[in-house]
Amino acid sequence: MTAFFRGRRLRSGSAMRELVRENSLRASDLIMPYFVLESAGRGIRKPIDSMPGQFQLSLDELDEQAAKAAGMGLKACILFGIPARKDPLASGAYAKDGIVQQAAARLKKRHGDKLIVIADTCLCEYTSHGHCGTLAPGDRQGLVLNDPTLALLARTALSQAEAGADIIAPSDMMDGRVAAIRQALDANGFDQVPVMSYAVKYASAFYGPFREAAESAPQSGDRRSYQMDPPNAREALREARADLDEGADMLIVKPAGPYLDIVRQVRDRCPVPIAAYQVSGEYSMIKAAAQNGWINEREVILESLIGIKRAGADMIINYFSEYLLENKLAG
Ligand code: PBG
């Protein structure tokens, strides 16, 4: 009888499967997002209804929670701020004592090199209208202005670096922002601070729960004039190339699960570290189905994340990071 392929030989038991396993989740792959609330109060942990298990944290609570996570092996986190006040020019984003600036300084002071603090650089959490840039006046009202926004983003990035952020991660999708940010950092002595750009960010409905979490839903209109159109793949490569040309050190693809083809294509064409962001909606869908008893939560979490690694991501920004570490599910 002719020999045929017997794939089952290498699936016979768990040790054998482990021996031939191609991809794995490591603690150092994980980046945990935190929502930091600007408040005079202490001890605040405000549950985010659409993201069970996630909270808006006051500074002291963030400090506690991140220390616990670092103790379990967390190596990196990304910070989102919820300011006490919002205005049309997002002044809270670049205030010296802005909430992300305070949080970054506090975490760096406590952890030094042991915990990488990434600052999400965007204006939408800080603008009264909820857009990621400034708005045109008069009849062009509603138009998100590109070039005037660049100066504010550069200012935000610089103040985050001054506060101690290790990595600047612009997520606004204005054209030319990586160059503007790089220039501002370099001109002020932060030439060693890397930019991890959300180069490929789609206008996704999967961000829904995040907008509750970060209180950043646009008051009118949507983000489709600056975030990418979901049917497009070639454009992703154009965006990735542009950001690398402007000086990005690493790239982010976002969301992750519905865009694994994009993760793979960017991985194959761009010789830099690639992160994928398993966004709020991806998290919430798993949590909701699990709460209904419809799926095995642990297994689905692991499968969703290893799929992102297999697609080629080096790092995964995801809300399950602490869960994985707590349950020793990442090596
Ligand atoms: C800010 C930003 C968003 C997310 C990360 N940074 C929201 C948006 O663009 O509306 C989404 C993250 C998530 O859904 O988990 N621009």
pLDDT tens-digit profile of 280-296?
999 999 999 999 999 99
Report the DSSP beta bridge partners of residue 274.
251
C-beta of 279 in contact with ligand 1 (< 6 A): yes
Q: Is the CB of 120 under 6 A from ligand 1?
A: yes
In a domain, 174, yes or no: yes
Greatest pairwise CA separation for the chain in angstroms = 81
For residue 1, is it within any domain? no
Confidence of residue 229 (pLDDT cuts 50, 70, 90): very high
Pocket of ligand 1 contains residue 58 by CB under 6 Å: no
- Domain that residue 291 falls in: 25-326
User: pLDDT value at position 137?
Assistant: 86
Residue 273 lies in a domain: yes
Structurally, the chain folds into a number of domains equal to 1
What are the pLDDT digits (tens) for 44-69? 999 999 999 999 999 999 999 999 99
Kindly give the distance from the C-alpha atom of residue 226 to the centroid of ligand 1, in angstroms, as a whole number.
Answer: 13
48 alpha carbon to ligand 1 midpoint, in Å?
A: 15
In a domain, 226, yes or no: yes
CATH number, domain containing residue 176 = 3.20.20.70
Nearest CA to ligand 1 atom 8: 207
Where does the pLDDT of residue 139 fall: very low under 50, low under 70, confident under 90, or very high at 90 and above?
Answer: low
> Does residue 310 sit within a domain?
yes
Indicate if the alpha-carbon torsion angle 63, 67, 69, 73 is positive or negative.
Answer: positive
pTM for the whole structure: 0.97
For residue 248, give every residue at least 6 positions away whose Cβ sits within 8 Å of its Cβ, in sequence order, or none: 178, 195, 196, 197, 199, 272
| Residue 215 identity | E
Cα 297 from Cα 300, distance rounded (Å): 5
Which residue among 201, 287, 309, 328 is the active-site one? Answer: 201
In the DSSP assignment, the letter for residue 112 is: G
Sign of CA dihedral 101, 107, 108, 114: negative
278 lines ligand 1 (CB under 6 A): no
Average confidence (pLDDT) over 303-325: 98
Residue 321's nearest CA partner among 103, 147, 69, 141 is 69
Query: What sign for the dihedral angle of Cα 74, 269, 248, 256?
Result: negative
Q: What's the average model confidence in pLDDT over 136-161?
A: 91
Identify the band that residue 279 occupies on the pLDDT scale cut at 50, 70 and 90. Answer: very high
Mean pLDDT of 177-196: 98
- Split at pLDDT 50, 70, 90, the class of 190 is very high
105 pLDDT band (50/70/90 cuts)? Answer: very high
Query: In this predicted structure, what is the pLDDT of residue 53?
Result: 98
| Helix/strand/coil percent split, the chain, to 5 | 45, 20, 40
Task: Give whole-number Cα distances, 9 to 1, 18, 217, in Å.
Answer: 18, 13, 52
Is position 8 within any domain?
no
Cis peptide before 255 (omega within 30 of 0): yes
Mean pLDDT of 229-258: 98
Is 254 noted as a catalytic residue in this protein?
yes
In a domain, 137, yes or no: yes
DSSP string, 219-273: SSS-STTTSBPTT-SHHHHHHHHHHHHTT-SEEEEESSGGGHHHHHHHHHH--S-
Query: Does ligand 1 come within 6 angstroms of the Cβ of 63?
Result: no
pLDDT-derived band at 11, boundaries 50, 70, 90: very high
Closest ligand 1 atom to Cα of 217? 10
Residue 68 is among the residues annotated as catalytic for this protein: no
The verdict on residue 12 lying in a domain is no
